[in-house]
Structure 1
Amino acid sequence: MGKKLCKIVHTIKVLVAEMNAFGFTPMQEAPASKQWRNTDSIIIDPEKDIVNRSRNKQKKKIVNILVDQASDRDLIVLPIVGMGGLGKTTFAQLVYNDPEIKVYFQLQRWCCVSDDFDIAKIASNICQTNEMDREKALQNLQKELGGKRCFVVFDDVWNEDADKWEKLKTCLKHGAKGSAILMTTRKLKVAHIMKMCIDDSHNLGKLHKVFLKEILENRAFCLQKPNDVEPELSEVVELILDRCVGSPLASKAFGSMLSIKTSMKEWRDILTRSNTCNEDTLHVLKLSYDDLPSHLKQCFAFCAVFPKDYEIDVEILIQLWMAHDLIPLKKGELLERVGREIFD
């Protein structure tokens, strides 16, 4: 226990030191308003073809449940459960954009919920309005869904308050027979609270190693021609895959780190440092963060001043980086251009 406490204290000291280095000060309270993302239903993942192939059977299973079993039910809620980094959001996007879904359902909506399960905001998001009065928002929701076969995705749900869900569910039932809710969550308890009529939640399993390798190599060797890849590097890839714990996010992080390394020594260094990674994808992301140059660390860490799920305007973000002197000067280049390079 003593060793664990010392390790925790050391970690806190490192975080405080980084916070002080970046000039951050603790916020007393979160900003009063959030800007909701209009939609997350569009897949912008560069490896979307790989992901589509890797999850195709699972996607077909979910689509069949939603289309076939939903036809004789008033409303079903199907939870997608899995640890962070498995690609639950991307999987839900694949289902949302499936041609069968688009034909079968008359109304489709995507809601990023996260930890702020505000009934009025969720209802307004589905109706695509800005109504903040809960009763009016719920009335609008009933009218919006009335008589239509609806498909709504609730992404990244953390709510464990059954009462909130029951109030929202009452309005969601105003959709026509065959309406369905697909929701993603890390927590099995949330799935149990929300699911209706379907006996089991769908547990999104770890991605097969074959597809993890495709994702990792797609990024790691993006600057090289296939015939130029050294056999030794491919051997290191095989070893690093074991650290990915079935997570496509971890595979992307490792691939991005390796893409800017030019020597076997650097690759083996990443392999050695990855020994500390366990089942938690955050350890891999921390490794990726530690590997960034100091100015990129500061620019990345600055984004923490925005609330979770806040839609950040790129140009405003770059201006803020400039105002805080986080963008390094490059001879003959405008700071705005350098800022765009950092963001991209």
Structure 2
Amino acid sequence: MVELAASLVVGPLVSLLKKVSSTLLDQYNVMEGMEKQHEILKRKLPAILDIMADAEKQASRRGGVKAWLEKLKTVAYEANDVFDEFEYEALRRRAKKNGHITKLGMAGVKLFPTHNRVAFRSRMGNKLGSIVEAIKVLVEEMKDFGFDKFQLEAPARNRWREMDSVIVDPENIVSRSREKERKIIIEILLNHQASSGDLLVLPIVGMGGLGKTTLAQLIYNDPHVKEHFQLLKWVCVSDDFNVCNLANKICNASCTILEQALNKLQEHLRGKRYLLVLDDVWNKDVDKWGKLKACLNQDGVGSAILTTTRDKEIAEFMGTVANNSSWKNKYHDVAILDIEFIHEIIETRAFGLQKTKPEKLVKLVGPIAER
């Protein structure tokens, strides 16, 4: 039930973020006098969404987190109602501007009653103010629970991630749901012919739990990729962006001095076409990345690095544009899964390989997938 509580919050939050970011609101100036509160929501909502996976994990052992999720869900629904009113007002102003209300006559007056802009701004300002204050309180409580650490550092490293190049997909749901993205990135990797000194770095970006690592797993384990690259290495980074430690991991060394570790790394990679996956990168220190990249930049023509990260700022400074490719972006945004795959994943996780599935529970899968 804890997991369900967390999943039920994400839908309203995503819906709210779309409404808050709608260009229609600015186009018809319905947020006049409320610009500051509007900007606060634009900043706070993505931050809250980014910690939902961590909140779900903690809710199983901390009752306060579960209560926080319930309050967040309530505020999200109330905020959606408020922004529905803003959207309705924007549509009313658009209809008036285009002369549609006049054409409808009395029916139009009943459907879109005349609004006093000052009264509207006062009424909606109070409603929006209450929502913003509630969000601010929730964000402060988020800090009390330690969720705010995601902005500065990763959660404590999990040892199981060390073997995360291995993917378990008995029903082939994962591979089918990411087929298009997988093909695009593999084509870039296989067709990349680096010029002297060039190294392709392709970050995969997305919020927690969206499937960045899963997509990287599919690429890493693809038979064509394994055949093409002479050396493949998977390294979980998380909060430990220690250049010496990472160099040791990549070349299976145990040097304690940075210079020795980097020399070993250079020897290990020299002349080989390699694929390196750096999973779960949180570090924003450009100098550290530059030092490691300099040693990774060996003469193995066509070598590439895949990284996974939640942070687009990190993806921007790590990513490079692929040569001889139609791909001109510095990173790849992970797509949200199609609804049919979400439905299939939920049903498979809930019922496994049961031949007979409880009809009442099966009927719940669709609404949960929609949320």
Both proteins in one fold, TM over 0.5? yes
Separation in 1 of the partners of 2:194 and 2:223? Answer: 17
- Residue identity opposite 1:64 in structure 2: E
Per-residue CA shift, 1:229-274, capped at 9, x if unaligned? 31x433321111122xxxxxxxxxxxxxxxxxxxxxxxxxxxxxxx
CA contact (8 A) 1:146 1:175 kept: yes
Secondary structure of residue in 2 paired with 1:217? helix
**Aligned ranges for residues 274-293 of structure 1 at < 5 Å?**
none
Separation in 1 of the partners of 2:367 and 2:287? Answer: 48
Secondary structure of residue in 1 paired with 2:192? helix
Secondary structure of residue in 2 paired with 1:148? coil
**Aligned ranges for residues 1-150 of structure 1 at < 5 Å?**
3-4=134-135, 38-44=162-168, 49-70=172-193, 74-150=198-274
CA contact (8 A) 1:70 1:76 kept: no
CA contact (8 A) 1:113 1:157 kept: yes
Once the two structures are overlaid, the 10-residue window that deviates more, 66-75 or 199-208, is: 66-75
Separation in 1 of the partners of 2:273 and 2:293? Answer: 15
Unaligned runs of 5+ in 1: 17-32, 244-344
CA contact (8 A) 1:152 1:181 kept: yes
Separation in 1 of the partners of 2:138 and 2:160? Answer: 38
Separation in 2 of the partners of 1:151 and 1:66? Answer: 9
1:212 equivalent in alignment to 2:342: yes
Secondary structure of residue in 1 paired with 2:368? helix
Unaligned runs of 5+ in 2: 1-131, 147-156, 323-327
Secondary structure of residue in 2 paired with 1:151? strand
Aligned counterpart, 2:351: 221
Secondary structure of residue in 1 paired with 2:201? strand
Larger Rg: 2
Alpha-carbon spacing, 1:193–1:84, altered in 2? closer, same or farther (3 Å): same
CA contact (8 A) 1:70 1:180 kept: no
Separation in 2 of the partners of 1:134 and 1:82? Answer: 32
Once the two structures are overlaid, the 10-residue window that deviates more, 63-72 or 87-96, is: 63-72
Structure-2-length-normalised TM-score? 0.55
Aligned counterpart, 2:87: none
Q: CA deviation at 1:42?
A: 1.1
1:233 equivalent in alignment to 2:344: no
Separation in 2 of the partners of 1:10 and 1:75? Answer: 43
Separation in 2 of the partners of 1:155 and 1:84? Answer: 13
Alpha-carbon spacing, 1:175–1:155, altered in 2? closer, same or farther (3 Å): farther
Per-residue CA shift, 1:256-294, capped at 9, x if unaligned? xxxxxxxxxxxxxxxxxxxxxxxxxxxxxxxxxxxxxxx
Q: State the percentage of identical aligned residues.
A: 48
Number of equivalenced pairs: 223
Q: CA RMSD in A?
A: 2.7
Alpha-carbon spacing, 1:71–1:5, altered in 2? closer, same or farther (3 Å): closer
Q: CA deviation at 1:71?
A: 5.3
Alpha-carbon spacing, 1:131–1:224, altered in 2? closer, same or farther (3 Å): same
